[in-house]
Structure 1
Amino acid sequence: MDEQESLPPHVLIFPLPLQGPVNSMFKLAELLCFSGLHITILLTENIHNRLVLHTDITSRFDQCPGFQIKTISDGLPDDHPRDGGKFLEVFDSLRTKTKTLFKDMLTSDLLCFDLDGKERRRVSCIIADGVLGFTCDVADEISVPIFCVRTISPCCLWIFFCLPKLIESGEYPFEDDNLDELIKSVPGAETFLRRRDLPSFCRSGDLTDSNIQLYKTEGQENSRAHGLILNTFEELDEPILNQMRTICPNLYPIGPLHAHLKKKQTTLRPSSNSLWAEDRTCIDWLNNQLPNSVIYVSFGSIATMTNDQLIEFWYGLVNSGQKFLWVIRPDSIAGEEWRSKIPVDLATGTKERGYIVEWAPQEEVLAHPAVGGFWTHCGWNSILESVYEGKPMICWPYFFDQQVNSRFVEKVWGIGLDMKDTCDREIVEKMVKDLMVLRKEEFLGRANHMSKLAKNCLMEGGSSYSNFDRLVKDIKSLSDKV
């Protein structure tokens, strides 16, 4: 037997350089490591630098000898903001500048040795974010099998798959300004999906919009891979998954990824993948609160708000009379003047009932018995974490897939309230009271049922457990042919 063939399969994982995808794909990397595979996770230099700054990333995989991190340039200057408004520039740079570096890396000996100088196989399989279409090009050129992974919601991905049909049918661009008109060209969602629930960029009405051009080929791009890995579970998304299988027959729904390691009972110590420094004093504060009495508020790592929106939200929270834990990132509000202009009644109400931090250990917060609800931007990781812990949601989507997700939270799964396109203190107050008081038992009952399904799917014989085992077997089988 060739010496290379005697070594474990070597999988390169390339996440999209954003907090959510990086977080999810680190979880996937950990799982694959504990399945006997050698893993290289490829991070852009910018993301790696932030992880080094805020986490124990350099030491956390000491117990995983098959794991290593490599970095690659995203082709942008160090001072580029790489935020929501500028992120398409990251896509463009990855496609035009990083693609060549990626191919050179895979065809060199750079990945054939770990940090200790021990030999590992050449990369025998690639797992890359499906929006990074150039990775499929490179995989084809060097004859290495590739799996796509999407860390956004299946419901949004399905809309991307349907974009050509929306355009062909004349439903997009919209003929008028009625955002409550139902959308009929997304199979499986005809009875509840409105124009306002489509991904945020659809409101531009411009077919030349760079987002439309990027995402309308999703069905073609993702179907090029051997299979599509999704961070969901059959019991949550079965109707949409069945629709997606008409385009990508080989799906691996293996989520919730963040909970897999807990079920696998690995010895890897708990750690963070956060690009922000976590303030753990909020856990001490939660420890002093009654069960299900606190609403946790966090709008993720990218969403921003105006000072006016901040004040409306704040009054709504304080006037609701509920305890609240609120994450306000340093860059989430334009300017710093809000800190010196907090109305006295808000400051007093927050001191009595609230706690504000710049960033929180979210998984731990959502698992805390004091938390009874989650006011979220509806990023997919946040939704899955909330579903797993049985916490009902108030949804204030910011952009991208979040508009779609919030509609599914309310109308499909019935585990929360959709507050999109709203910023009014009276509505905030009403929704917080509905979730935490008036309809508390109703929402908690449905959320707890969904939580049980999420936990069961990860047990031996469960849907995600079985799909993950099938993924590992397929990776090993394909790697043997390289």
Structure 2
Amino acid sequence: MEQLRNGKRLIFFPLPFQGHINPMLELANILHSKGFSITIIHTSFNSLNPSSHPHFTFHSIHEGFSKSGTLKDTLLVISSLNANCHEPFRGCLTRLLSDVSKEPVACLITDSVYDFTKSVAESLKLPRILLRAWSASSFAIYATFPLLREKGYLPKQDSRLEEEVTELSPFKVKDLPLINSDGPERYFKIIADLEDQTKASCGLILNTFEDLDEHALATIRQNYSIPVFSLGPFHKCYPNSSSTSSSLLAQDQSCISWLNRQAPKSVIYVSFGSVAAINEAQFLEIAWGLANSKQPFLWVVRPGLVPGSDWLEALPSGFHETLNGKGHIVKWASQKEVLSHQAIGVFWTHNGWNSTLESICEGIPMICMPCSADQMMNARYVSDVWKVGLQLEDGVERGNIEKTIRKLLVEKEGEEIKDRVVKLMQKANFCLKPGGSSYQSLDALIKHILSFN
């Protein structure tokens, strides 16, 4: 049966990084299921695959990058995207708005990192709603950057890393979000621009839920005079999310058949996302920590995870033989499918927001090893606020890894953590049901979009 349409089209513009693409397309799926037609404008850098989402219309713009994945400085990529995409995006959007054969466009939903979309949308008299791909808690902390700089917490100084930020307890200076780059001032400018972009928008969408981010959401609503919609977890809102993929990397399905042979809640799933990098010494400590734990593990080793290494050549000779079949290593996995598998007992993560939220939604406790940006804040929330995981506070050392795994899988502390994360999972499920906070927020978002003339 053909889905009922409401006669309105939405235009989405995702930032071309995996952690931003996923929630944007999940949100597009949610709103498509509510009757909207969906058009996606995307860059040729990290280009999307339209065949994975045949129910959407895709339009590609060229931003001038030579090859996907070759640019290592994230801030430079963001700055270049904002500089290079302005005119191609304006041209594409203008053509879409003038196409009378399609449904009228209700609004633009864009990643908040694109600063130029404000002037383009205003010139075309098109309402613009922002999607923030971070937690509400990290968003609230980004808003305090002027204060943190005034107090001398930022830029970070090595001598103060363990110092508590009294204005943001329980955060330490080392938890404050910075991206590895040669230009910290560029980072501070991007954060300041984000503030301005948010205040000038017609609304803000966050992939979170009230019971998880209640205090931060209250702060955001107090400080911004725009509608704020918390309707996550996105991937649980859309019933057919498992049938579509927005992965930029090929997924190795062998991990599912391997997991099928493991005992329930026994496997350590290890994945550090699509961008994070670790050095060879850390890589070896992780390998031996996992092997020495004697627990089965599924380890995603993305090509490029260790700079200068193609894949597994840094592993010592004979390492695989020492595992006796207890370890399975792949280049990339279908993470939501893995986390929902009954064999997974612990998730060792870099604490990107998507990964953190997906782990909570499956009731899986976490080992936290954040690398940059909002990951440090997410990890501190996981370990010290929600108390649903443990940080590797003493560094990536094989003995410390073994001890942390043992705490989560064997000891009483792990049982208490499991209880807490299961309770959060139940709250995540409830918020999506009729009458739940995310259910109501989605309804409010739809009414807000349909109110635009």
User: TM-score range with shorter-chain normalisation?
Assistant: over 0.9
CA distance in 1, matches of 2:174, 2:107: 39
CA distance in 2, matches of 1:79, 1:203: 19
Deviations 1:282-320 (A, max 9, x none): 111111111110010000111112221111011111111
Using the aligned pairs only, state the percent identity: 38
Who is 2:427 aligned against? 453
2:75 maps to a residue whose letter is: L
2:197 maps to a residue whose letter is: E
Contact 1:201 1:212 in 2 (8 A): no
Matched position secondary structure for 2:45: helix
Q: 1:219 aligns with which of 192, 195, 220?
A: 195
Q: 1:77 aligns with which of 66, 79, 89?
A: 66
Change (3 A) 1:399 1:111: farther
Who is 1:357 aligned against? 330
Who is 1:300 aligned against? 273
Q: 1:161 aligns with which of 122, 143, 159?
A: 143
CA distance in 2, matches of 1:59, 1:168: 47
Provide the TM-score with structure 1 as the length reference.
Answer: 0.87
Shift of 1:408: 0.4
CA distance in 1, matches of 2:406, 2:282: 19
Who is 2:24 aligned against? 25
Contact 1:286 1:368 in 2 (8 A): yes
Matched position secondary structure for 1:456: helix
Q: 2:172 aligns with which of 194, 217, 231?
A: 194
Instruction: Answer with 227-236 or 421-430: which moved more.
Output: 421-430
Contact 2:270 2:348 in 1 (8 A): yes
Instruction: Answer with 415-424 or 462-471: which moved more.
Output: 415-424
2:207 maps to a residue whose letter is: N
Shift of 1:369: 0.7
Instruction: Answer with 124-133 or 340-349: which moved more.
Output: 340-349
Listed as ranges, the gaps of 5+ residues in structure 1 are 1-5, 114-118
Q: 1:473 aligns with which of 444, 447, 450?
A: 447
CA distance in 2, matches of 1:236, 1:120: 39
2:238 maps to a residue whose letter is: L
Contact 1:374 1:394 in 2 (8 A): yes
Change (3 A) 1:134 1:337: closer
Who is 1:58 aligned against? 51
Contact 1:296 1:373 in 2 (8 A): yes
Who is 1:372 aligned against? 345
Shift of 1:58: 1.2
Matched position secondary structure for 1:200: coil
CA distance in 1, matches of 2:429, 2:335: 18
CA distance in 2, matches of 1:274, 1:424: 31
1:91 maps to a residue whose letter is: I
Matched position secondary structure for 2:323: helix
Provide the TM-score with structure 2 as the length reference.
Answer: 0.93
CA distance in 2, matches of 1:145, 1:421: 48
CA distance in 2, matches of 1:123, 1:357: 42
CA distance in 2, matches of 1:457, 1:79: 38
Who is 1:234 aligned against? 210
Q: 1:432 aligns with which of 388, 400, 405?
A: 405
Deviations 1:116-158 (A, max 9, x none): xxx2134330111111111112111111111111011222221
Structure 1 position 286 matched with structure 2 position 268? no
Matched position secondary structure for 2:58: strand
Contact 2:73 2:181 in 1 (8 A): no
CA distance in 1, matches of 2:317, 2:229: 52
Matched position secondary structure for 1:352: coil
Change (3 A) 1:184 1:356: same
Q: 2:231 aligns with which of 254, 261, 265?
A: 254
Contact 1:147 1:227 in 2 (8 A): yes
Contact 2:10 2:39 in 1 (8 A): yes
Who is 1:116 aligned against? none
CA distance in 2, matches of 1:338, 1:100: 39
Contact 1:380 1:402 in 2 (8 A): yes
Contact 1:44 1:72 in 2 (8 A): yes
Shift of 1:333: 1.6
Who is 1:330 aligned against? 303
CA distance in 2, matches of 1:30, 1:147: 16
Matched position secondary structure for 1:193: coil
Q: 1:394 aligns with which of 342, 345, 367?
A: 367
Contact 1:7 1:120 in 2 (8 A): no
2:20 maps to a residue whose letter is: P
Matched position secondary structure for 1:252: strand
Who is 1:3 aligned against? none
Listed as ranges, the gaps of 5+ residues in structure 2 are none
Shift of 1:430: 0.8
Who is 2:357 aligned against? 384
Who is 2:127 aligned against? 145
Deviations 1:153-206 (A, max 9, x none): 222221211101222334434577121212134xxxx320110110134998x8
The alignment yields a C-alpha RMSD, in angstroms, of: 2.2
Shift of 1:79: 6.3
Deviations 1:91-128 (A, max 9, x none): 22222221112112222257737xxxxx2134330111
Matched position secondary structure for 1:124: strand
1:296 maps to a residue whose letter is: Y
CA distance in 1, matches of 2:95, 2:65: 23
